Amino acid sequence: MSSSTETLQLNLGSLRSTMSLTLHTHHASRIWHGRAASDGKPAIVGLNGYVAVMNRMKRGAEQDDPYSDWWMLRIEEKLNTTKDQLHTLREQVDQALAGLPSALSVGENLNVQPVKLPLFISSQLGFMALYLLADYDELARKLILAHHTALIDRSTLERWLNEGAHALRSLFSLAQQYRYSGCSRDDFVSMNAAGRAAIEKFGTLPQDVLDGTRRSRFAPPVIRRSVSSSSPPRRSATAEPAPVSPDSEPEPPSEETSDDAGDSSAGEGGDE
């Protein structure tokens, strides 16, 4: 009986759930998709591009890359700042809507044909940005209603919509600067060629980030691969691997194991 139970447990796969996001405004939809470069205009990354970066960043942190940990901390801080900015805008809109007379009953402003987007997100920092986009969609609906009912003028409508959109795009733009270093903390302990090249290319890190004592609250456990004939050993503190080329931008290895059975999917971004 015990052998049968162990076999059953070993055959269990990862948990998955189907998720989707419903958007009611073109303003939020444009932020989701971003904009491709054309006619001399630079590309604007959307939420789906941001999510892809967050998934790579999470894998980099799993590989013990201290730069990925540092970027997770920076993104988490930027997420909190963006949340505060949207909260301030929402308070202003609510104050404007409070000007409706009590005798007037106004229902929620919803699109008769909203867009429903499937979600493939495997990082918590990706979900946090998703919540902010949902907040912005609600904010845009309220702003459009306030303008329609003559509580705010056109210039105020456009200014507040642009402020909210700029806050989100600033977050996505910051995420686009992330690069996986291709190194682990062992490379910095021994200060080998790979570690020296990474410092020259990406700069120095705070000591508490470098030694792993300060990580994002959503940082994944570091994957410790066992040495076997089928997989290469993890770099030792005395090893001298090939240096990281200043012109190369390595990608974090693909996930081989799942540390979080609650991830919605292993995909790298939402479909457009």
Which residues does 215 contact at the CB level (< 8 Å), separation at least 6? Answer: 61, 69, 72, 73, 209
Angle between helix 66-97 and 124-148 (nearest 10) = 20
- Kindly report whether the global pTM for this prediction surpasses the value 0.95: no
pLDDT of res. 262: 38
Which residues does 220 contact at the CB level (< 8 Å), separation at least 6? Answer: 58, 61, 62, 259, 260
Question: Phi, psi (5° rounding) for residue 180?
Answer: -75, 130
Distance, CA of 264 to CA of 16 (rounded, Å)? 5
Other C-beta atoms closer than 10 Å to the C-beta of 237 total 12
Distance, CA of 207 to CA of 96 (rounded, Å)? 47
Query: Which residues are paired to 116 by β-bridges?
Result: 22
Distance, CA of 119 to CA of 141 (rounded, Å)? 22
Tokens of 151: 């509580």
Burial class (CB in 10 A: 0-12, 13-18, 19+), 152: buried
Q: Are 196 and 181 in contact (CB under 8 A)?
A: no
pLDDT of res. 267: 38
Determine the straight-line distance between the first and last CA of the chain, rounded to whole angstroms. 48
Amino acid at 84: D
Q: Are 160 and 38 in contact (CB under 8 A)?
A: no
pLDDT of res. 175: 95
Q: Are 132 and 79 in contact (CB under 8 A)?
A: yes
pLDDT of res. 35: 80
SS3 20: strand
Average pLDDT by stretches of 10, the chain with 272 residues:
58 73 91 82 87 94 96 97 97 92 82 82 93 96 94 96 96 94 92 92 93 94 60 40 47 53 39 38
Q: Are 106 and 145 in contact (CB under 8 A)?
A: yes
Structural domain boundaries in the chain: 20-99+108-181
Q: Are 64 and 222 in contact (CB under 8 A)?
A: yes
Tokens of 241: 């691997």
pLDDT of res. 111: 82
Q: Are 231 and 223 in contact (CB under 8 A)?
A: no
Burial class (CB in 10 A: 0-12, 13-18, 19+), 9: exposed
